[in-house]
Amino acid sequence: MKGMFNLIRFVVAISVLGFMIYFAGENNKENYCKLTDINIDNGMSYLERMMKFGNAFVTNDVINDYLLDNNLHPDSIKMNDVSFKNIESLLANHPSIKSANVYSDMQGKVFVSVVQRKPIVRVQNGKDGYYLDEDGLRMPLSNEYTARMLLVTGEVNLVNENDLYYLSNIIIKDEFLKKQIVQIDINKDSELLMLTQIGEQLEFGQIKEVGEKFEKLKLYYEKGNSQNQEYKALNLKYKNQIVCIKK
Q: pTM of this prediction?
A: 0.77
Q: 119-245: which CATH number, 1.10.600.10, 2.60.120.280, 3.40.50.11690, 3.40.718.10?
A: 3.40.50.11690
Q: 85: closest CA among 98, 69, 104, 61?
A: 104
All CATH 3.40.50.11690 domain ranges of the chain, comma separated, are: 119-245
| Run of H or E residues at 104 | strand 97-104
Range(s) for CATH 3.10.20 in the chain?
Answer: 34-116
pLDDT in tens, the chain (247 residues): 555 555 555 544 454 444 444 444 444 456 889 999 999 998 765 445 444 445 678 989 999 999 999 999 999 888 888 999 999 999 999 999 999 999 998 888 999 999 999 999 999 988 899 999 999 999 998 877 777 899 999 999 999 999 999 999 999 999 999 999 999 999 999 999 999 998 889 999 999 999 999 999 998 888 766 667 778 899 999 888 888 888 7
Q: 34-116 maps to which CATH number?
A: 3.10.20
pLDDT tens-digit map of 89-119: 999 999 999 999 999 988 889 999 999 999 9
User: What is the Cα–Cα distance from 119 to 128, expressed in whole angstroms?
Assistant: 16
